[in-house]
Amino acid sequence: MVHSDIKVVALTFDDSPDPAFTEAILDILKQKQVKATFFVIGAKASQNPLILRRMVTEGHEIGNHGYTHNYGIREMTGELRQTDQSVYSVTDTHTHTHFYRPPGGFVTKSQINRLRNKVM
Ligand SMILES: [Zn+2]
């Protein structure tokens, strides 16, 4: 959340890092000198470490989008922890994820409450 009197836009991209799309997005963002937040899938982060490192090196923020992009999962904590560990181990700066975007936007109040009570 940003408190501001001027209008601002936050660019976010889900399901990264994807070898088919993400580098093209990074090229455009670099050309336009714009930063974004990439909500990464942990399994893809492990499979595409160079793209993930490029995101961080070029100043973009990394968010957590689960490890398997599973919509129906009841216990998300393990997925979030796995993704955070993937991002941490792949990035030279040992980056952690501080924001979560649930796959498909599906999240229940009880899941949110459980996550609030967990320490990652
Ligand atoms: Zn997604």
73 CA to centre of ligand 1 in angstroms? 14
Q: What is the pLDDT of residue 75?
A: 67
- The full set of domains in the chain, from first to last, is 13-116 (3.20.20.370)
Residue whose token pair is 């889900």? 14
Instruction: With H, G, I as helix, E, B as strand and everything else as coil, classify residue 80.
Output: helix
Q: What is the pLDDT of residue 70?
A: 85
69 CA to centre of ligand 1 in angstroms? 6
CA of residue 22 relative to chain centroid, distance:
13
What is the tens place of the pLDDT at every residue in 78-107? 889 999 999 999 998 888 999 999 988 888
Instruction: Tell me the C-alpha distance between 58 and 33, whole Å.
Output: 10
98 CA to centre of ligand 1 in angstroms? 17
More confident residue, 115 or 104: 104
Q: What is the pLDDT of residue 73?
A: 63
Checking if the pLDDT of 110 tops 60, the result is yes
